[in-house]
């Protein structure tokens, strides 16, 4: 499982509140990614990181920000949650050609 | 630009019969291709990968896939389905270049595989 954990695993929040999801890895991987999974869309990349303090946008980055202050942690923040951000969020690391995924966080915005 | 089309949103087979999940891709570069599996309420697990070596790729749990450049296809097969194969399967293409060394994946929409007893 590449030593990836995500927290929380489930969260219900109200529209307009900020939310932070955490991805933690224990194997010193340089590259980390945040995806969201929605029915009929597969997974779509939100943001990724290529090192401490080095991040860039993916294809669905609007309404999201990220931070990586240390190698092991990659945080995803919804600045003001909306119902369209109800989704399952997956963190991943890449190792060579392969990506390995965390267990996911199910977020519901009411 | 890279893209992936999974030709069936749902496939249903009987236990012990062959499985075929179809995937076509579009890529401006020589692609890397993957199949991932997701069991209900679980994360994604890598089944197999193609990275310009052998065109017939063997993966875990008896799955294999064949890269056919002339048909731009990367179909997933298994000779005999097992009940535990019931899951969602994603065909994935890696973008042909890496930004700052990062690897960008493009996912298909997924195929739900149902196994009938």
pLDDT in tens, chain A (110 residues): 568 999 999 999 999 999 999 999 999 999 999 999 998 888 999 999 999 999 999 999 999 999 999 999 999 999 999 999 999 999 999 988 789 999 999 999 99
- Looking at the complex, does the CB of residue B100 fall below 8 Å from at least one CB of chain A? yes
Say how far apart CA B30 and CA B62 lie, in whole Å. Answer: 26
Cβ atoms B38, B22 nearer than 8 A: no
| pLDDT for position B96 | 53
| pLDDT for position A41 | 84
B105 → closest Cβ in A30, A50, A99: A99
**Residue B104 is assigned to a structural domain of this protein:** no
| pLDDT for position A6 | 97
| Phi, psi values for residue A83, rounded to 5° | -65, -25
Q: Is B93 exposed, middle or buried (0-12, 13-18, 19+ CB in 10 A)?
A: buried
SS3 B117: coil
Q: How far is B73 from chain A (nearest CA, A)?
A: 18
**Residue B29 is assigned to a structural domain of this protein:** yes
> Torsion angle, CA of B34/A34/B11/A98, rounded to 10 degrees?
20
**Residue B56 is assigned to a structural domain of this protein:** yes
| pLDDT for position A42 | 87
| pLDDT for position B110 | 95
Provide the residue range defining the domain that includes B93.
3-99
Cβ distance A99 to B109 less than 8 Å, yes or no, reads no
Residue boundaries of the structural domains of chain A: 4-109
State pLDDT tens for residues B80-111. Answer: 999 999 999 999 998 755 667 788 899 999 99
**Residue B31 is assigned to a structural domain of this protein:** yes
Closest chain B residue to A54, measured at CA: B100
What is the band of B29 on the pLDDT scale with cuts at 50, 70, 90?
confident
| pLDDT for position B97 | 56
**Residue B37 is assigned to a structural domain of this protein:** yes
Contacts of B109 in chain A (CB under 8 A): 40-42
A79 closest CA partner among A63, A66, A96: A63
Tell me the CATH number for domain A4-109. Answer: 2.60.40.10
What is the number of structural domains in chain B? Answer: 1
- Looking at the complex, does the CB of residue B42 fall below 8 Å from at least one CB of chain A? yes
Contacts of A58 in chain B (CB under 8 A): 104
Cβ distance B104 to A94 less than 8 Å, yes or no, reads no
**Residue B36 is assigned to a structural domain of this protein:** yes
**Higher local confidence (pLDDT), B50 or A2:** B50
Residue B14 pLDDT > 90: yes
User: How many beta-carbon pairs below 8 A join chains A and B?
Assistant: 60
* CATH number, domain containing residue B90: 2.60.40.10
């Amino acid at each position: 499982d590449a030593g990836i954990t995500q927290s929380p695993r489930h969260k219900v929040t109200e529209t307009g509140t900020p939310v932070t999801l955490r991805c933690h890895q224990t194997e010193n991987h340089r590259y980390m990614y945040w995806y969201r999974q929605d029915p009929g869309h597969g997974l779509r990349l939100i943001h990724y990181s290529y090192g401490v303090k080095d991040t860039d946008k993916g294809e669905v980055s609007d309404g999201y920000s990220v931070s990586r202050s240390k190698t092991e942690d990659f945080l995803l923040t919804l600045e003001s949650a909306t119902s369209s951000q109800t989704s399952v969020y997956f963190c991943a690391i890449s190792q060579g050609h392969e990506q390995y995924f965390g267990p996911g966080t199910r977020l519901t915005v009411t | 630009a890279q893209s992936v089309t999974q030709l069936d949103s749902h496939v249903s087979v009987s236990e012990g019969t062959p499985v075929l999940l179809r995937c076509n891709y579009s890529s401006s570069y020589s692609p890397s291709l993957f199949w991932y599996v997701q069991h209900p309420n679980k994360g994604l697990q890598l089944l197999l990968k193609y990275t310009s070596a052998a065109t017939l790729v063997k993966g875990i749990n008896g799955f294999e896939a064949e890269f056919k450049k002339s048909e731009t296809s990367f179909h997933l097969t298994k000779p005999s389905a097992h009940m535990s194969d019931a899951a969602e399967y994603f065909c994935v293409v890696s973008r042909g270049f890496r930004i700052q060394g990062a690897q960008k994946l493009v996912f298909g929409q997924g195929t739900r595989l149902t196994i009938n007893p």
